[in-house]
Amino acid sequence: MSINYLVLVAYLVVTFLVCGIPFGKIIARARGVDIQKVGSGNIGTTNVAREIGKGAAALTLLLDAGKGALATGLALWFFPAFITGGVSVAPHGDAAGLEGLVTLAAICGHIFSPFLHFHGGKGIAVGVGTLLGFAWPVGLMELAIFLVIAVASKRVSAGSVTVAAILGPVFALIYGPNLGLDLLLELAGLVVVWAHRSNIKKLINGQEKEFSFHKRGDKPEPDDDTIGESK
């Protein structure tokens, strides 16, 4: 294995670890709440919004998306110095799969956080962040699709599952087909869909809660039956 690939593997491991930092749990704990024991038990923005409030949710969203953007943004800058032979890491380049690998590592780090016994969030914020870091038009399009569906349905999970499922095709639509990258992005999207499996079941059964913000003075609600699954 050449030094270039050793560096790539090291970068993917660091990406997994950094993106596994559970910012939602840290922010909620600073407010005196264990976010894994209230609401849905999820450490992501939606549960933080419902159980803590707007400010904490906004900070969670910013940090979760930021770690994803940092991972792919730094990869664009970092790897041209190590990959030889004129290989490009641009979205249309021959080695574009590198960004797909980084995206997959970032999303898996968040969903399977090594700091929470391999439980974590559901990957949407960090996933959109990775797209904004290396292919912002796709990130903005996915964000727009998410907002339209989430607002229309009043259910964040509906928007989340949709954008995750169509990630690869949307990327191919904008930049043209790139089999390696498209497959890696679709795999990352399917991991996010898998993380939403309990939400999908509730959507099908009409049991998914509408999105709402925590109101001052309300106590966090006890956790529901989604706790114990990968979040």
> Per-residue pLDDT tens for 19-74?
999 999 999 999 999 999 998 899 999 999 999 999 999 999 999 999 999 999 99
In the chain, what is the greatest distance between 2 CA atoms, to the nearest angstrom?
61
Q: Which residues pair with 38 in a beta bridge?
A: 222
Helix axes 156-165, 197-204, angle to 10 degrees: 120
Structure tokens, 47: 């549960």
pLDDT of res. 98:
83
What are the residues facing 222 on neighbouring strands?
Answer: 38
Distance CA 213, CA 60 (A): 14
Task: Please list the alpha-helical segments (H only) found in the chain.
Answer: 3-19, 23-30, 45-51, 54-78, 97-111, 124-134, 136-153, 156-165, 167-175, 179-195, 197-204
Stronger pLDDT, 82 or 52, i.e. the higher one: 52
Query: Span 197-205, mean pLDDT?
Result: 93
Residues 90-112 pLDDT 10s: 444 445 578 889 999 999 999 99
pTM of the model: 0.86
Do residues 150 and 156 lie in contact, with contact meaning Cβ atoms separated by under 8 Å? yes
Q: How far, in Å, are 36, 59, 86, 222 from residue 39 at the CA level?
A: 8, 18, 50, 6
Average pLDDT over residues 74-95: 56
Question: Which pLDDT value is given to residue 134?
Answer: 86
Residue 222: pLDDT band with limits 50, 70, 90: low
- pLDDT bucket at 212, cuts 50 / 70 / 90: confident
- CA dist 107 and 68 (Å) reads 8
What pLDDT does residue 128 have?
95
Q: Which three-class secondary structure state does DSSP give residue 38?
A: strand
Residue 85: pLDDT over 80: no
